[in-house]
Structure 1
Amino acid sequence: MEKKYDLLIQGSRVICPASGIDGIRDVAISDGKIAAVAETILPSAAAKVTSAAGQIVLPGLIDTHGHIYQYVTGRFGLDPDMVGVRSGVTTVIDQGGPSCMTLPGFRKFIVEQSETDCLAFLSAYLVGGLEGHFYPNLYSPDGVDIDATVRSANANKDIIRGIKGHAEIGGFARWGIRVMEMAAEIARQTELPLYVHFGTLWGLPESGANGEDADTIIERVIPLLKEGDVLAHPFTRHPGGFVNREGEVHHIIQRALDKGLKVDVGHGSHFSYRLARKALDAGVVPHTLGADMHGYNTTVPEKPAPAGTPEEHYDDENHPFKGQARFSLTQAMSSMMALGLSLEQVVPMVTTAPAKMIGKTDTHGALIVGRKADVTVLNDLRGRFVLRDNEDNRVIAERLLQPAFCLRAGKRFDADSPILPVAVAA
């Protein structure tokens, strides 16, 4: 008897906000697509059956903030599949790695050669996401070509789903708001969302802040933005984020949300439980949950420095982005739950909301019959676990999500990434 399905994932809690499913379901896969989602599917109908009892099945996770332009962006760029399918994440969006100059390489060597679905927000800067903390002068207004970047984005919208810009005190102290104005114009002309980094990045020039106040940056940038643009790093420990130096959430944030702007966690080395608590208490709940892993905040075991890399670029004691030794998108999900958000609040942040952010709700973020079988299966650990941020604040999580495996277009990948964190019992 010919089997109707290639694979049956059986008996798990299935959560799919896009289709309103939350309950024990079976999920059947055939020819790399979702073939059925039902309360009961006969095992005899499938060539292979995988029990997922006690696990959670979600639409393939979407990481809205990755750094995966390996080698071209120096130490920032991690292996796409290590961050992606080997960490239970089916789609990773590189934030500002490629530029209009380097995008062909991103397509050829990252998009076309990775098992993970790799997309990008195109850098507003000609040099893209090089190690800007070493070379900040590359990111001046002279390093932006609006017309060239617009042409590049418009010609590559299959993989370019937005524009990346930076609003931080180092850039403002050097050049004022001009670079952000140019980035906003690129996003306007391409009709793509602009993803804006807030919080210190490049550091101040030798001449100091030049009269700039980090706490005023956000109120000057928000008027430049349009509905659907994204404010990143709301919980940053660095000056210039949502929480000012007096410890108060900036008064303009609610107006920005009312205007239709979105918020992405951009966890990485910026995240602070202390400041996240303040923002959440003020009603600022992020829409999406980017992990923001890169080679400066994620330790890759036995990863040698690429040939020719300056020694200081691999100086773990002094680099400005020290953070998690091991990290993952599911660890970021656990962080948000430890801060009081429910699983039901967090799941849309890595499924339906990012699919909307990148304009791909018709292909991503849902377990719908006929769509490609991008599926993530998570272990749901219960107990008392220690989570820490980059200020070394610690919280106790009673629930820890860890990836078990994922399917990318129906192909299975076990969660064997060397950067996945190990549960630490309290």
Structure 2
Amino acid sequence: MYELLLSGGLLADPERGTLRAGDLAVHDGRIAATGAPGSLTAREVLDVDGLLVAPGLIDLHTHVFPGRTGLGVTADSVGVEQGVTTVVDAGSCGSDAWPHFRAEVSAPARTRVLNWLNVSRHGLVHGHSELAGGARDLDTAATDALLREEHSAVRGLKVRMSRSVLGDSGLAPLRTAKELAGAHGLPVMVHVGNEPPALAEVLDLLGEGDVVTHAFHGKPGGLFGAGSEPLPQAWAALERGVRLDVGHGSASFSFRTARRALAAGIRPFTCSTDLHCRNTDGPVRSLTDTLGKLLALGMPLMEVLACATVRAAEVLGLAGELGTLRPGSAADLSLLRLREGAVTFTDAEGERCEGSRSLVPYAAVRAGRHHPPTSREAGV
């Protein structure tokens, strides 16, 4: 007999693109089986009637280093408490602060916490110009050692390539990040924003598996440059296997840019939030709210869910372990309510978009352990 059974829900499987009634059994922290309604038994049964049973949502870009940085929120507040089973901190921590991050953030969290290690040794601990000091902001030996020794938690490097961060460092930190990560077969996540450097120059340095976060911002010098068509370098990067990530943030997601990109045939590969203490009350709020914005833009439900499940797991090198409903994979599951009805979403520029559906987190199962309904949905 299995330990836990989720019964009566709709199995939302973005990997296969299917949505079907069915039961899912969990045993020893793993998905043990899926089957037709009523076909499985377990010692504990959760009635999930009316809910989507989806692979555990993965937020590829968060800031969860409170106390040590000015942006941090607790991992669980944007993780299991919002129906999200994995959060990835995106550059809050560099090599200098890694022992503190591991002990203060990863170890006590109920949410799975992974890391994009900042190529700057400081991360964001000393402010937001972590690469303006040139070579003295880098400790390549320590970063290289962490990529080798902490590979289960550190899934790649983060480098912020915008004017306010870099000072006179130019493209050098990105080249360093690419060399260090490439030596370990890991990707780089690149923050893009206000030029310099030009987005075209940044894209030319990226290869298969690398991630451009904030890809759909509305600032000057984005995907479309000063023209009406996407940059040639953007098309070339996509052909090389570079992934475009939403990375909403306080100032980095524009409905206008996203609409133009979708019309041109450029779609988000992944959807993350860039959640931190300055945007949890808006415009970002949560991963499910951000996914709802993609629904409002006309993207299909299964594609939207894939952006925060199977595709996000692929980016992290964890395909088959996370982001899937396959038996044998980690029993990380998000229980979501697909709510029908008018809803208004707001982007980082204050533009509103009317939608007809929203995703509301109900509860989470993380490594086989049930985390009760969120207060927003309790008793509904």
TM-score higher than 0.5: yes
CA deviation digits over 1:202-236, x for unaligned, max 9? xxxxxxxxxxx54x611112222221111111111
Which residue matches 1:381? 339
Asked if the contact 1:55–1:378 (Cα under 8 Å) also holds between the matched residues in 2, the reply is yes
2:240 to 242, 259, 281: 259
**Alpha-carbon shift at residue 252 of structure 1 (Å):** 1.4
Which residue matches 2:278? 296
Q: Which amino acid aligns with 2:182?
A: R
Residues in 1 aligned to 2:17 and 2:229: alpha-carbon distance in whole angstroms:
36
Instruction: Decide whether aligned partners of structure 1 residues 368 and 378 sit closer, same or farther in structure 2, where only a CA change above 3 A counts.
Output: same
Which residue matches 1:95? 90
**Alpha-carbon shift at residue 137 of structure 1 (Å):** 6.3
2:351 to 363, 377, 393: 393
**Alpha-carbon shift at residue 173 of structure 1 (Å):** 5.6
Q: Which amino acid aligns with 1:370?
A: G
Which residue matches 2:101? 106
Residues 1:34 and 2:31 aligned together:
yes
Which residue matches 1:281? 263
Larger Rg: 1
Instruction: Decide whether aligned partners of structure 1 residues 190 and 327 sit closer, same or farther in structure 2, where only a CA change above 3 A counts.
Output: same
Asked if the contact 2:8–2:23 (Cα under 8 Å) also holds between the matched residues in 1, the reply is yes
Instruction: Provide structure 1 residue ranges, at least 5 long, that are not aligned to the other structure.
Output: 201-212, 300-322, 421-426
Asked if the contact 2:131–2:167 (Cα under 8 Å) also holds between the matched residues in 1, the reply is no
**Alpha-carbon shift at residue 19 of structure 1 (Å):** 5.4
Residues in 2 aligned to 1:417 and 1:186: alpha-carbon distance in whole angstroms:
43
Match runs of 1:6-25 below 5 Å? 6-18=3-15, 21-25=18-22
Which residue matches 1:328? 286
2:330 to 372, 377, 387: 372
Two-structure CA RMSD over aligned residues (Å): 2.1
Q: TM-score, normalised by structure 2?
A: 0.93
Residues in 1 aligned to 2:38 and 2:329: alpha-carbon distance in whole angstroms:
18
Deviates more, 1:368-377 or 1:288-297: 368-377
CA deviation digits over 1:21-59, x for unaligned, max 9? 53111112233322221112347x333332222221111
Residues in 2 aligned to 1:339 and 1:102: alpha-carbon distance in whole angstroms:
39
Residues in 2 aligned to 1:172 and 1:78: alpha-carbon distance in whole angstroms:
25
Q: Which amino acid aligns with 1:118?
A: V
SS in structure 1 opposite 2:95?
Answer: coil
CA deviation digits over 1:177-222, x for unaligned, max 9? 222222222222232100000113xxxxxxxxxxxx54x6111122
Match runs of 1:22-421 below 5 Å? 22-42=19-39, 45-74=41-70, 76-130=71-125, 132-133=127-128, 135=129, 140-171=134-165, 174-200=168-194, 214=196, 217-246=198-227, 248-269=229-250, 270-299=252-281, 323-324=282-283, 327-416=285-374
Asked if the contact 2:193–2:222 (Cα under 8 Å) also holds between the matched residues in 1, the reply is yes
**Alpha-carbon shift at residue 359 of structure 1 (Å):** 0.7
Asked if the contact 1:166–1:197 (Cα under 8 Å) also holds between the matched residues in 2, the reply is yes
Instruction: Decide whether aligned partners of structure 1 residues 244 and 417 sit closer, same or farther in structure 2, where only a CA change above 3 A counts.
Output: farther
Say how many residue pairs are matched: 376
**Alpha-carbon shift at residue 172 of structure 1 (Å):** 5.4
Residues in 1 aligned to 2:62 and 2:133: alpha-carbon distance in whole angstroms:
20
The percentage of counterpart residues that share the same residue type is 34
Asked if the contact 1:11–1:52 (Cα under 8 Å) also holds between the matched residues in 2, the reply is yes
Instruction: Provide structure 2 residue ranges, at least 5 long, that are not aligned to the other structure.
Output: none
